[in-house]
Structure 1
Amino acid sequence: MKARVFTPHKLDVEAFARDGASLQGEWPAQALSRLADSAAPEAPASAWPAVRWSLEGEARAEPRSSDKQIWLHLEASARVSLTCQRCLQPVSEDLNLSRWFRFVRGEEEAASLDADSEDDVLALTRSLDAQELVEDELLLALPLVPRHETCPEPLPHSNAEPDEEAGEAQEDERPNPFAALAALKGRGPAQ
């Protein structure tokens, strides 16, 4: 019997799981356009290392039924450069994920099982684009607020402490808003 050939861009998840098949590979980071859009301007995705991924299918015996549950295990890793929200310089982030997905026959069943389960439940489709799935999961793994542990360059406003004399001179130069109010009050109608 000839072994099936599976491709990640049109993956028959059910056959992949029933065969207990596996796939792995790398994609250039810029091939994942939505992930590449998150890049710091000074460190575009074309300079990032390749995104590594692997998929394993598994058909598990379903309790109280002769049917098999369709499962897909995804592992992926990427190194991305985002903009630090403190110093606005590029910060490298390592993304590593390992997820199991259970596939069921319809959207309604997926929604009801997903709400009640800790597992990720998806509706089974005729073909799955694994690159989109990998990109979705990497996007979800991005930090909400990327930042360095310690910024490489001090922030402009945090490293310069104003000289006390210069600070006093600045205070003297600023007009007091209440002085103008007092002047207006003193010019009121004569009594």
Structure 2
Amino acid sequence: MTSSSPVFSAQALDVRRLARAHGVMQGAVALADLPRWREDAPEWPQADAAAALQLDWQARAELRTPPGGAEQVWLRLTFTGQVPQICQRCLSVYLQPLAVDRWFRFVADEATAEAEDDDAEEDLLVWTPRFNLLELVEDELFLALPLVPMHDVCPQALPTEAVDADFHQAERPHPFAALAALKGRAGRPGPGQEDA
């Protein structure tokens, strides 16, 4: 009799079964295979390299029983990779390195998740018998992106100041300069009004 280890699918994962098997899954997902990412991602200039852009992920599930509590299913998700971003300083596309390491606890339903969310340090997920791990990877990818993506040092020098096309033309007189001149004369006596 031969025993075989259970086969798990990242797109239809029974997390409880993975935890009971003390299982660890790992793999890689191409950025092009993540539908929401593909929809919003900036174009990577090297088309052949764009196909190689991927996230290397690992998922480990475990069962924990807190003192006086019921058995809980936990999942640790880690992934690393580089994703194209547009630098907000120089507006060129660059590769942003990412590294994510997160723990999740599964709960029975949405009501439980809402009730426990404020007090929980970990993120809560609603348990489902066919959990899509790759959707979670994509969610965490978006959460890991910087709010303002920028190179550490932009590859091209940035212009230090904006130059107006009319900058070098002769300066026009200020429209209120004539009014200021009139006001200045108002305090002085006019011709024929000198003190006696």
Band of TM-score, shorter chain: 0.7 to 0.9
Partner residue of 2:76 out of 69, 73, 78: 73
CA contact (8 A) 1:28 1:51 kept: yes
User: Which amino acid is the alignment partner of residue 169 of structure 2?
Assistant: Q
1:145 paired with 2:144, answer no
* Structure-2-length-normalised TM-score: 0.77
TM-score w.r.t. the length of structure 1 is 0.79
- Residue 42 of structure 1: how far off its partner (Å): 4.5
- The residue aligned with 1:21 is 23
The answer for unaligned runs of 5 or more in structure 1 is 183-191
Alignment check: 8 A CA contact 1:91 1:146 kept:
no
Q: 1:126, CA displacement in angstroms? A: 2.1
SS at match of 1:81: strand
Percent of pairs with identical residues: 41
Moved more, 43-52 or 28-37: 43-52
Shift of 1:91: 2.2
Q: After the TM superposition, which residues 1-191 of structure 1 pair with which residues of structure 2 at under 5 Å, given as runs?
A: 2-43=4-45, 46-65=50-69, 67-156=70-159, 158=160, 167=167, 169-172=168-171, 174=172, 176-178=174-176
User: Is the contact made by 1:11 and 1:129 (CA closer than 8 Å) also made in structure 2?
Assistant: yes
**Secondary structure in structure 2 of the residue aligned to 1:9:** coil
Q: In the alignment, residue 54 of structure 2 is paired with which amino acid? A: A
Answer whether contact 2:44 2:50 (CA < 8 A) is retained.
no
CA change 1:114–1:87 in 2 (3 A) is same
Q: What CA distance in whole angstroms lies between the structure 2 residues aligned with 1:60 and 1:41?
A: 43
Structure 1 residue 160 displacement after superposition: 7.6
CA distance in 1, matches of 2:92, 2:16: 45
**Matched residue type, 1:3:** S
Q: Greater share of helix residues, 1 or 2?
A: 1
Q: Does structure 2 retain, via aligned residues, the 8 Å contact 1:56–1:73?
A: yes
Q: How many residues align?
A: 175
Tell me how far 1:121 sits from its aligned partner: 1.0
Task: Tell me by how many angstroms 1:59 deviates.
Answer: 0.5
- Contact in 2 for aligned 1:48/1:79 (Cα 8 Å): no
CA-CA distance at 1:100 after TM superposition: 0.7
Structure 2: runs of 5+ lacking an equivalent: 181-196
Structure of higher CA gyration radius: 2
RMSD: 2.7
CA contact (8 A) 2:30 2:51 kept: no
Q: Return the offset for 1:33.
A: 2.7
